[in-house]
Structure formats: structure tokens, C-alpha cells
Chains A and B, each alone.
Chain A
Amino acid sequence: MKKIIHLTVFLAIISALAGGILGFVNQITAPIIAEKKIAAVKASLQEIFPGATEFAEITIEENDVVVNAYEATGAGYAFNVSIQGYKDVIEFIIGFDLNGKIAGLKMNYVNDTPGLGTKVGEPEFINSIVNKSVDDKLDTISGATISSKAVIEGINAAIAVFESLK
């Protein structure tokens, strides 16, 4: 019995020490990690809304496709979208200005077939979307139908959220 208590106490002390050390490391790193996370998005938002200076994350209703929403004060809204592409998810940020025009599209993660699905990350496709109105029909790319369809589906989901915010 004494032995078991000894073992338990020893393991408890080790675990408590481990917790203490990690708590300390976490305290130092947590603010830096949070800052880095916003900084990465901020750069993209700044690109989409060059004129805006203030950005804030806003809460939206839970959504399978639209992950985060951001407001660029006086300029528009942007949405972080993650949608299933051909073999992996496609992640991008799309921004709408207050007139309902697509202000910018930034692909963050495309892992579909190189040369085909990855076309959705190329300027040609992105330029075909930017500056369209939310009411316009968006075209898919032949040869990358599934990937581009997924992106357009994601954009439509973002438009739905955007309409609900206006």
C-alpha cells in the first residue's frame, strides 16, 4: 500500500512540474501565437481593401464553409472560406465591398492536382472573379471543373453570409 502511494505521489509531482513548465511556456508564447495569426490574415485583408485601416473579426452564425468573417471598417467585409476541392480542402479569403462587388480573392491553400486543380490559384481565374458583382454568374475552368466549382460554391456561401450582414 505504501508503495502505491509513493508511486502515485511521484507521478503526480512529475506531472505537476510538467504542467507548471508548460503553463510558463504557454504564457510566453500564447500572445505571440495569437498576434502571428492575426498578422497573417491582416496582410491578406490589407491587400483586398488597400484603403482600409481598421480590421476586426466579427462573429457569424456557425457555417460549414465560411469559417471566419472580418469587417474592414468603411470598406467592406471579408470571409475566410474552406471548402472540399478535388482531393483536399481549398482555403481562400474573399472580400466584398459595400456596393456588393467582389473586391479581392486570395487563395491560401490549394492542394489539388498540379497543373489542373491548381489553376484556381492562378491569376487568370482570380482576375475573372474579382470586380464581378455578387449577382453575376461566375464561370468554371475546363480541366479544373471540380476545383473551380468548389471555389464558386464557396464564394456563393460567402455571398449568402454577406447578404445577411448588410
Chain B
Amino acid sequence: MRGARLTVDRGEVAVITGQSGSGKSSLLYCLAGVLPAERGQVRFEGRPLGDLDDEEISALRRERFGFVFQYGELLPELTVEENTALPLRLAGMRKKPALTAAGEVLERLGLGGLRERRPSQVSGGQCQRVAVARALVHRPAVVFADEPTGSLDSANADAVLKEFLELARSQGTAVVLVTHDPAVAAQADTHYTMSDGRLSAEGAQ
């Protein structure tokens, strides 16, 4: 991956598309501070991530970032409510207020009735909605989404994406979303394409 340059503002939805293996996920995890950049810099609120130690990066991911993965990656042993509350608990919030906050986000996404269920007891689309709730429950500055609708059928994918972006925008949360589905790009404020490790801006929608 080389020559990648992008800026994402508060509340902005940036979508990176490209074919499988083009390097878009690597870029996403590089932006999130998970993979180190060999050259160049990733800055968050003006501060280079390369200057932060592991503890500081972890704290950033815990408190300021959110993640949505292709298959949700919910913990099967936790209930929907507990999964959603996990970022708050990791950030040190007590159990009761964390569960209350999680319940509110779940209500907004229409999942209030599933609180006590386990991931194996809900559908794939519902799992992915729970993953969205988990990514946004602590009101992060940025959410990094790696193929968030890749495992869903088109109807479910559209619905989940719509709810996800609505909720993010209402919270003023920036979203960096990578996908190989060009249709998703239609929802973006900014659209980038990745090809052979090179990033090019397609322009604002």
C-alpha cells in the first residue's frame, strides 16, 4: 500500500471500495492504529498515532474508536445487551449504567426485545445490528467498519447500513467503511477506491 492520503472529518462517512486483496482492510487497520505504517503518518485529532505506546493506542480504541466487523464477532457467551455494553465496560464503566446505556442504543435500533438473548438465538442481520450498536454505544469519534454488510443479503444489508449511518451521523461520529460492494459507496460523503495498493479519491457525493 503506498500513496494513500485521506482526511476524515467529524460526522463524515468515508467509504473505501476495491476488489478483494486490494489492501483496503490493511488501510483500515492502519488508520485504526492496529497495523503500523512503515512510512508516513496517521494522525488522530492532530496527534500522530506512531507516537503513542501500546497502552495509549488501546485506550484510544477503547474510548474514541468503534469497530464493526464483517461477521459481527459478538461473543457467543454474552447476551446481546452484554455484548453491546462491552466497550463501556472495557472503558471502566460500572455494570448497571453500562447495561442501561446499551439498552438505549438497542432500543433505537429496534432490538430492545432481544436484550437477554445470546447471539446464537438471533438472526444474522440482527447480529450485525448488535455489532453496530456495540460500535456506537460509547459515542466514539470514529467507527471503522470492515465489510459490515458483507455477510448479509441485500435487503438486510441495506437496512443495517442505513441504520448504522443514521445513528453515526446523529452522534457526530465519523465512519471509515471498507467494502467491495460499489453500491455501498452511494451512501458515502466521500468515496475512495483502492487498487493495487493505491488509493484514489472519487469525490464527494
Question: Are A and B part of the same complex?
Answer: no
Report which A residues bind B (CB closer than 8 A): none
B→A interface (CB under 8 Å): none
